[in-house]
Amino acid sequence: MTHRPVPSRAGSRSGYNPDRDHKTAAARSARARPRRPALLATAAPATADGPATAVTLPAPLNTTTLFDGIDRLPAAAESRDGYVRTAFKHWNAGAIPDDGCNTRAETLLQEAVDYPEIAPGCKLTGGRWFSLYDDTWVTAATGLDVDHLVPLAESWDSGASTWTAKRREAYANDLASPTSLIAVTAKSNRAKADKDPAEWLPPAVGYHSPTSPAGSRRSCAGR
Going by the DSSP 8-state scheme, the letter that residue 32 receives in this structure is P
Looking at residue 108, its amino acid is: L
What pTM was computed for the model? 0.66
The answer on pLDDT for 186 being more than 90 is yes
Judge whether 67 lies within some domain.
Answer: no
Read off the pLDDT of each residue in 164-178 and give the average, rounded to a whole number: 96
Judge whether 103 lies within some domain.
Answer: yes
Coil vs helix vs strand at 65? coil
The answer on pLDDT for 50 being more than 60 is no
Coil vs helix vs strand at 44? strand
Judge whether 22 lies within some domain.
Answer: no
User: Which of 2, 196, 3, 23 lies closest to 12 in space, CA to CA?
Assistant: 23
185 burial level (CB within 10 Å; 0-12, 13-18, 19+): buried
Judge whether 168 lies within some domain.
Answer: yes
pLDDT of residue 74: 81
Which pLDDT band, with edges at 50, 70 and 90, does 70 fall under?
A: confident
Q: Are 117 and 141 in contact (CB under 8 A)?
A: no
Phi, psi of 5 (to 5 degrees): -65, 145
Q: What is the pLDDT of residues 75-118, one digit of tens each?
A: 888 899 999 999 999 999 999 999 999 999 999 999 999 999 99
Read off the pLDDT of each residue in 192-205 and give the average, rounded to a whole number: 93
Q: What is the mean pLDDT of the chain?
A: 78
Judge whether 145 lies within some domain.
Answer: yes
Domain count for the chain: 1
Q: What is the pLDDT of residues 111-143, one digit of tens each?
A: 999 999 999 999 999 999 999 999 999 999 999
pLDDT of residue 54: 62
Contacts of residue 202, defined as CB under 8 A and 6 or more positions apart, other chains included, come to 132, 133, 134, 188, 192, 208
The answer on pLDDT for 217 being more than 80 is no
The answer on pLDDT for 185 being more than 90 is yes
The vertex-193 CA angle with 189 and 86, nearest 5°, equals 110
The helix or strand, by DSSP H or E, that contains position 191, with its residue range, turns out to be helix 186-192
| Range(s) of the domain holding residue 148 | 85-198
Judge whether 26 lies within some domain.
Answer: no
Q: Are 207 and 192 in contact (CB under 8 A)?
A: no
Judge whether 210 lies within some domain.
Answer: no
State whether the Cα torsion 134-140-141-142 is positive or negative.
negative
pLDDT of residue 16: 40
Say how many CA atoms lie within 13 Å of 190 toward its Cβ: 6
pLDDT of residue 210: 52
Judge whether 190 lies within some domain.
Answer: yes
